[in-house]
Amino acid sequence: MKLYIKYMVSLRCKMLVAEELQKLDISFTELDLGTVNITGDILPAKLAILKSNLLKSGLELMDDRKSILTEKIKNLIIEMVHYSDEFPRVNHSEYISNRLGYDYTYLANIFSEVKGITIQQFIIIHRIERVKELILYDELNLTEISQKLHYSSVAYLSNQFKHITGLSPSFYKQLNGKRKDNLENV
């Protein structure tokens, strides 16, 4: 049996779900972002307790087909942008369609209906979040970041960054540098 869990987007969430399953003595074989494979059946009472406990932590068991598919798309994008060492070189629509086994137009329509934004907008938001992380790590310069995330140019990355955050990447880096300095002086 496979359970789908909304808002499960980090390693910390995975640990929390594993802990809740162990508390309820529910056996599982695989735990990924947004899904968990349960071995055997779960009594409805245990499922209700699991649902309640997860909800207290900001996670939600899903049973609606559209929400489940939307969550799969979100988790695939988050995994692709934040957790993959190498950003896929194929078109995003092709990558998502191939990984989930559905026509991209169908996926895009359901995603927009459920989330209120397009898949492309969701990808851009997460790419910019990843750029912000990489800027803060201060291990790569902007050219290397744009290459790592397969932007066509540093100028395109900078324009997209400014459009989403309202700041240029260099100003963002300066702000966070000043914040670190202020914290160290406390």
Q: Do residue 12 and residue 86 come from a single domain? A: no
Quick one: CA dihedral 77, 81, 83, 84, positive or negative? positive
Q: Do residue 36 and residue 77 come from a single domain? A: no
| Pair of tokens at residue 18 | 């594993």
Q: Tens of pLDDT along 126-171?
A: 999 999 999 988 888 999 999 888 898 999 999 999 999 999 998 9
Q: Which of 15, 33, 63 is the last residue of a domain?
A: 63
Q: Tens of pLDDT along 63-101?
A: 888 888 998 999 999 988 888 766 666 788 999 999 999
Q: Tens of pLDDT along 99-119?
A: 999 999 999 999 999 899 999
Quick one: CA dihedral 128, 82, 91, 131, positive or negative? positive
Q: Do residue 12 and residue 57 come from a single domain? A: yes
CB 176 within 8 A of CB 135: yes
Domain that holds residue 5: 1-63
Question: Confidence band (pLDDT; 50, 70, 90) for 9?
Answer: confident
Q: Do residue 134 and residue 156 come from a single domain? A: yes
Q: Do residue 111 and residue 28 come from a single domain? A: no
Q: Do residue 97 and residue 55 come from a single domain? A: no
Q: Do residue 57 and residue 71 come from a single domain? A: no
Q: Do residue 105 and residue 163 come from a single domain? A: yes
DSSP characters over 78-136: HIIIII-SS--SS-HHHHHHHHHTS-HHHHHHHHHHHHSS-HHHHHHHHHHHHHHHHHH
Helix, strand or coil, per DSSP, at residue 43: coil
Question: Confidence band (pLDDT; 50, 70, 90) for 181?
Answer: low
Q: Which of 63, 78, 98 is the last residue of a domain?
A: 63
Q: Tens of pLDDT along 14-40?
A: 999 999 999 999 999 999 888 899 998
Q: Do residue 84 and residue 150 come from a single domain? A: yes
Q: Do residue 129 and residue 165 come from a single domain? A: yes
Give the CATH number for residue 145: 1.10.10.60
Give the CATH number for residue 18: 3.30.70.100
The pTM of this model reads 0.71
Q: Do residue 54 and residue 82 come from a single domain? A: no
Q: Do residue 52 and residue 105 come from a single domain? A: no
Q: What is the pLDDT of residue 183?
A: 45
Whole-number Å distance between alpha carbons of 153 and 155: 5
Task: Count up the domains in the chain and report the number.
Answer: 2
Q: State the residue for tokens 């995003």.
A: 92
For helices 169-184 and 119-137, the axis angle rounded to 10 degrees is 50
Q: Which of 32, 47, 63 is the last residue of a domain?
A: 63
Q: What is the pLDDT of residue 59?
A: 92
